[in-house]
Amino acid sequence: MWRVTFQRSWGFQGRAFYPPPDPINAMLSFGYTLLLHDVLTAVQFTGLDPYLGTFHVIEAGRPSLALDLMEEFRPLVVDRLVIELLRTGAIRREQFERPAQRPEAVYLDAAGRALLVERYEAHMQAPVRLPTGEQTPMRRVVLLQAQAAARVVRGEQAQYVGYTP
C-alpha cells in the first residue's frame, strides 16, 4: 500500500530503516522510536524484562519484548499518523534534510520533528474505545496491553488478546 500510494511523489521504494533513504522512511523510523519509548515504559511499569521477547531476536541491548508488543500499535499509531501527515499536506519536503556527513540518509529537520511529536502526542492522548465500551487514551491502551502480557507470563490469563479498535 505504501509503495503504490506514495512512491512517485515521495520516492518511497519500501521499508528501509537504517539509515532512512527517503522522507517516508524517516517519518516511520522517528515515529516508531517514539512508540517504542511508550511501549518500553509500559513494559517496565509491569515489572517484565523488556529484553526477553518472543518474536524479536534476543540480543544484548535490544528490548525484544517491547518490540514484540509494539507490533500491534505500529499501524494504529505511527502508520496512521504518517499517512495523515502526507495526505493532508501537513508535512512538506522542505522539512527533511540530508546531512553532509551522511548524504544517503534523510531525516526530519527540527520543524518536522516538532510537528511529528506534536501529532504523535495528540494521538496518544486522544480517547479510543476499548472492547468494554470504555473510552481511554491510546497511551493507556498500550499500558493495558503490557499488563495483559504480564498476566499471561504469570499464568493469570490463558492467552494474550491484541487490541482491536
pLDDT tens digits for range 110-125: 999 999 999 999 999 9
CA distance 15 to 144: 29
* H-helix or E-strand spanning residue 127: strand 127-129
Q: What is the pLDDT of residue 13?
A: 79
Quote the CA–CA distance of 90 and 58 in Å, as a whole number.
38
Helix (H) or strand (E) holding 29: helix 23-46
User: Which residue bears the cell 511501549?
Assistant: 39
SS3 66: helix
Tell me, yes or no, if the pTM score tops 0.85.
yes
- Does the pLDDT of residue 4 top 60, yes or no? no
Which amino acid is residue 153, in one-letter code? V
User: Is residue 60 helix, strand or coil?
Assistant: coil
Distances (CA, A) of 58 to 23, 52, 80: 30, 6, 28
Residue pair 101/91 in contact (Cβ under 8 Å)? The answer is no
* Residue 148 confidence class, pLDDT cut points 50, 70, 90: very high
Q: For the domain covering 16-153, report its CATH number.
A: 1.20.120.920
